[in-house]
Amino acid sequence: MDGQLIRAAAVAATLAIAPTGTMAHQLVVFASVDCQVVTVEAKFSNGRVAQAGDVRVLDGENTLLMTLELGEDGTAVVPLDSVDHSGGLVIEVDTGGHDNYWIVTPDDITRNCGS
Amino acid sequence: MKRFALGMAVAVLAATTGLAQDRPQIATVNYPLQYFAEQLAGDAADVLFPVPEDVDPSFWRPTISDISTIQGADLILLNGAGFATWIDRVSLPRSRVVNTSVAIEDQFIVTKSITHSHGDGGEHSHEGLAAYTWLDPTLASAQAEAVATAIAGKGLVPVEDVAERLIALQADLAALDARTAEALADVGDVAIIATHPRYQYLARRYDLNITSLEWEAGAMPSDAELAELADEAAQTGATVLIWEDTPPDAGFDAVTDLGLRNVVFSPLATANGDADFIASFDAYVTALSDALQAQPGN
């Protein structure tokens, strides 16, 4: 499954699970993976891009590996060679008022590297 | 059963799918789905419900290892109606994910908005869905049918076995519905307060008048919360408080002092000890019925 498919799965799950009456204003975090980077995207469920916030990268033991700033376009890029991703990664985004997370498993990463 | 019959054709086509494990694995997001899957799959599959006992599965935050296990399951059963927030924060294999409430979406209950403000976003509201669908046994039955169709459709269990077990399970749920209706008959005008908004589908099915607080499950209520309860009881005339989970004895005593009777009715998102779904539901209904029919002061 490539990065697009990861995002597509999340969108499909959202559509399938909450077709009506969904949260009107919630931070939505996606993380897509390729062999080099994890691309983090954050926006609110009303469609507005989250223009600022902290992106925390943690490992499977909840150890903080890296902190990044969310860009004005609502994205941040985590170079895979800068973190130990062997046990997967947890990506947390905190905009101050809202926060959410995305879990990247080792399988998510290996699938996208063709190994 | 009509939808299940249609699913059988799919099952026949899919039954040749190879399985990676010795026994197929079915991952579930709450206890009712675990129970239904276990009843329908029998010994032919391992049913996983990885949420720790002391954690509310609605708001469980899984570990990477948990998600790796779930991603590897042959079938992943979701409740729908917004239950289990974690499912929107991970990548799940679409071909193995089944939303068990698709057929009952037109019966979902939209919950009231919660208005708040923070940052520079101004005041805004969050609206959601009541998620505890299985507290209406007729909806639970529809979800059981979706589970059966999924299990058969994936070829995890022979179709005829699943069909036979589904008939038995739906009979159990129909009998539960009948017993509950009888036990809660003629109490529709009696006001009830619940410590948390979990009982919307139960209330609708059995014409119960339930208003809800926002107390933490199983915790001792604060003085402010008890004052809120007293006000609510005065406004509604309620004489019964439903606890989502058993509080400290002092919690029961404080509520009794306010003139209300205490009833613990777990919404069964997690298992109730060794008692199964049907037995637990029956026991909670009996306790609620007894409390509602008791005379004040008894």
Cβ atoms of B240 and B187 closer than 8 Å:
no
* Confidence band for B3, pLDDT divided at 50, 70 and 90: low
Tokens (6 digits) for B280:
């637990």
Query: b vs e for B255-292, b when ≥16 Cβ sit within 10 Å of the residue's Cβ?
Result: beeeebbbbbbbbbbbbbeeebbbebbbebbebbbebb
Question: B125: pLDDT confidence band, cut at 50, 70 and 90?
Answer: low
Q: Is A108 exposed, middle or buried (0-12, 13-18, 19+ CB in 10 A)?
A: buried
In the predicted structure, residue A10 carries a pLDDT above the cut 80:
no
pLDDT, one tens digit per residue, over B214-251 is 999 999 999 999 999 999 999 999 999 999 999 999 99
Q: Residue B168 belongs to what domain range?
A: 2-107+134-175
Statement: residue B23 has pLDDT above 50: yes
Asked if residue B20 has pLDDT above 60, the reply is: no
pLDDT score, position B187? 81
- Same structural domain, B26 and B145: yes
How many structural domains is chain B composed of? Answer: 2
Question: Does one domain contain both B26 and B138?
Answer: yes
- Residue A26: what pLDDT? 82
Is B144 a domain residue?
A: yes
Which residues in A lie closer than 8 A to residue B63 (C-beta atoms)?
A: 60
Quick check: A96 and B80 CB within 8 A? no
Residue B282 has pLDDT above 50, yes or no: yes
- Where do the domains of chain A lie? 3-111
Res. B18 pLDDT band, cuts 50 70 90: very low
Spatial neighbors of B216 by CB under 8 A, at least 6 apart, are: none
Rounded CA-CA distance A27/B76 in Å is 25
Cβ neighbourhood burial of B56 (10 Å; 0-12, 13-18, 19+): middle
A-facing residues of B in 28-67 (CB < 8 A) are 61-65, 67
Would the pLDDT of B205 be above 80?
A: yes
Give the domain CATH number at B260.
3.40.50.1980
Examine residue B114 and state whether it is found in any structural domain, yes or no: no
Whether B193 maps to a domain, the answer reads yes
Confidence at A2, pLDDT banded by 50, 70, 90: very low
Q: According to the model, what pLDDT value does residue B212 have?
A: 96
Question: Measured between beta carbons, which residues in chain B are less than 8 angstroms from residue A2?
Answer: none
CB atoms A21 and B108 under 8 Å:
yes
Tell me the pLDDT band of B4, cut-offs 50, 70 and 90: low
The rounded mean pLDDT for chain B is 90
What is the C-alpha to C-alpha distance for residues B201 and B130, in angstroms, rounded to an integer? Answer: 8
Average the pLDDT over B243-269 and give the result.
Answer: 97
Chain B contact for A60, CB < 8 A?
yes
Collect all residues of chain A within an 8 Å Cβ-Cβ radius of residue B105: 19-20
C-alpha span between A4 and A20 (Å, rounded): 25
**Which of A5, A6, A23, A102 to probe by mutation at the B interface, max B CB count within 10 Å?**
A23
Model pTM? 0.84
What is the predicted pLDDT for the residue at A97? 86
All residues of chain B having their beta carbon less than 8 Å from the beta carbon of residue A63 are none
| pLDDT, position B120 | 42
Tell me the C-alpha to C-alpha distance, in Å, between residue B116 and each of A22, A45, B130: 16, 16, 20
pLDDT of residue A45: 85
**Sequence-ordered alpha helix ranges (H) in chain B:** 2-14, 31-41, 64-71, 137-153, 159-183, 200-206, 223-236, 249-257, 277-293
**Averaged pLDDT, B118-128:** 54
Q: Does residue B112 belong to any structural domain of this protein?
A: no
Per-residue pLDDT, averaged over B67-96, amounts to 95
For the CA atoms of chain A, what is the radius of gyration? 14
pLDDT recorded at residue A25 = 60
Note the pLDDT of residue B11.
Answer: 44
Same structural domain, B188 and B242: yes
Residue bearing the bigger pLDDT, B253 or A2:
B253
The ipTM is: 0.74
Main-chain dihedrals φ then ψ at residue A27, nearest 5 degrees: -75, 130
pLDDT band at B201 (very low <50, low <70, confident <90, very high): very high
Residue that is written with structure tokens 């919630």 in the block = A26
Q: What is the CATH number of domain A3-111?
A: 2.60.40.10
The reply to whether B122 falls in a domain is: no
A65 to chain B nearest CA, in Å? 15
**Is residue B284 assigned to a domain?**
yes
A20/B71: higher pLDDT: B71
pLDDT over 90 (residue B118): no
Among B122, B154, B175, where does a domain finish? Answer: B175
How far CA B198 is from CA of B38, B49, B69, B195, B211, in Å, comes to 24, 20, 29, 9, 10
- Residues A12-71 pLDDT 10s: 333 233 332 333 468 999 999 998 999 999 999 888 999 999 999 999 999 999 999 999
Give yes or no for a contact between B69 and B192, defined as CB atoms under 8 angstroms apart: no
> Which B residues in the span 120-159 are in contact with A, Cβ-Cβ below 8 Å?
121, 124-129
What pLDDT is recorded for position B271?
A: 96
**Residue B15 pLDDT level (bands cut at 50, 70, 90):** very low
The verdict on residue B242 lying in a domain is yes
